Amino acid sequence: MAVLSGFWSLPHKNLVKRLEGAKVGAWIDSMRASSPTRAKSESQEKRYWILYHPSALNTFEQITYNSKGKQVVVFLDYDGTLSPIVTDPDKAFMSRKMRATLKGIARHFPTAIVTGRCRDKVYNFVKLAELYYAGSHGMDIKGPTKSRSPKQGNNKPVLFQPASQFLPMIDEVYKVLLEKTKCVPGAKVENNRFCLSVHFRCVDEKSWAPLAEKVRLVLTEYPQLKLTQGRKVLEIRPTIKWDKGKALEYLLESLGYENSSDVFPIYIGDDRTDEDAFKVLRSRGQGIGILVSSVAKETDASYTLQDPSEVEQFLRRLVEWKRSSSVKCTEL
Ligand SMILES: O=P(O)(O)OC[C@H]1O[C@H](O[C@H]2O[C@H](CO)[C@@H](O)[C@H](O)[C@H]2O)[C@H](O)[C@@H](O)[C@@H]1O
Q: Give the per-residue SS3 of 21-68.
A: HHHHHHHHHHHHHHCCCCCCCCCHHHHHHHHHCCECCCCHHHHHHHCC
pLDDT for the residue 29: 80
- Beta strands 140-142 and 132-135 are antiparallel
Q: What is the CATH number of the domain that holds 111?
A: 3.40.50.1000
In a domain, 8, yes or no: no
Residue that terminates a domain, selected from 210, 238, 266:
238
pLDDT for the residue 30: 78
> Does ligand 1 come within 6 angstroms of the Cβ of 138?
no
Segment holding 292, helix H or strand E: strand 288-292
- What's the CA gap between 290 and 312, in Å, rounded? 13
pLDDT for the residue 164: 96
In a domain, 208, yes or no: yes
Ligand 1, atom 7: closest residue by C-alpha:
116
Give the residue among 251, 299, 259, 255 at the shortest CA–CA distance from 279.
299
Report CA(51)–ligand 1 centroid distance (Å). Answer: 29
140 and 169, same domain (yes or no): no
In a domain, 50, yes or no: no
Q: What one-character DSSP code corresponds to residue 274? A: G
In a domain, 279, yes or no: yes
Give the number of the atom of ligand 1 that is nearest the alpha carbon of residue 271: 4
65 and 203, same domain (yes or no): no
> Does ligand 1 come within 6 angstroms of the Cβ of 274?
no
285 and 313, same domain (yes or no): yes
175 and 223, same domain (yes or no): yes
Q: Are 107 and 149 in contact (CB under 8 A)?
A: yes
Residue that terminates a domain, selected from 176, 211, 238:
238
Residue that terminates a domain, selected from 216, 238, 260:
238
Q: ipTM of this complex > 0.90?
A: yes
Q: What Rg, from alpha-carbon coordinates, does the chain have? A: 22
In a domain, 10, yes or no: no
End-to-end CA distance of the chain: 89
> Does ligand 1 come within 6 angstroms of the Cβ of 235?
yes
264 and 310, same domain (yes or no): yes
> Does ligand 1 come within 6 angstroms of the Cβ of 135?
no
63 and 100, same domain (yes or no): yes
In a domain, 128, yes or no: yes
197 and 63, same domain (yes or no): no
Q: Which of 37, 79, 229 to mutate to test the pocket of ligand 1 (most atoms within 8 A of CB)?
A: 79
> Does ligand 1 come within 6 angstroms of the Cβ of 92?
yes
Ligand 1, atom 20: closest residue by C-alpha:
231
121 and 249, same domain (yes or no): yes
Domain enclosing residue 220, as ranges: 164-238
219 and 92, same domain (yes or no): no
pLDDT for the residue 48: 87
pLDDT tens digits, 136-166: 999 999 999 887 665 555 556 789 999 999 9
Quote the number of domains for the chain: 2
pLDDT for the residue 41: 55
pLDDT tens for each residue of the chain, 332 residues long: 333 333 333 444 554 566 567 778 888 887 777 766 655 556 788 888 999 999 999 999 999 999 999 999 999 999 999 999 999 999 999 999 999 999 999 999 999 999 999 999 999 999 999 999 999 999 999 999 887 665 555 556 789 999 999 999 999 999 999 999 999 999 999 999 999 999 999 999 999 999 999 999 999 999 999 999 999 999 999 999 999 999 999 999 999 998 888 999 999 999 999 999 999 999 999 999 999 999 999 999 999 999 999 999 999 999 999 999 876 655 54
In a domain, 40, yes or no: no
Give the residue among 179, 185, 211 at the shortest CA–CA distance from 198.
211
pLDDT for the residue 147: 79
Report CA(189)–ligand 1 centroid distance (Å). Answer: 11
Report CA(79)–ligand 1 centroid distance (Å). Answer: 5
> Does ligand 1 come within 6 angstroms of the Cβ of 140?
no
Report CA(178)–ligand 1 centroid distance (Å). Answer: 18
In a domain, 266, yes or no: yes
> Does ligand 1 come within 6 angstroms of the Cβ of 232?
yes
Q: What is the CATH number of the domain that holds 193?
A: 3.30.70.1020
Other Cβ atoms within 10 Å of 133 Cβ, number: 24
Ligand 1, atom 21: closest residue by C-alpha:
231
67 and 182, same domain (yes or no): no
126 and 260, same domain (yes or no): yes
125 and 263, same domain (yes or no): yes
Report CA(231)–ligand 1 centroid distance (Å). Answer: 7
Ligand 1, atom 13: closest residue by C-alpha:
89
Report CA(122)–ligand 1 centroid distance (Å). Answer: 11
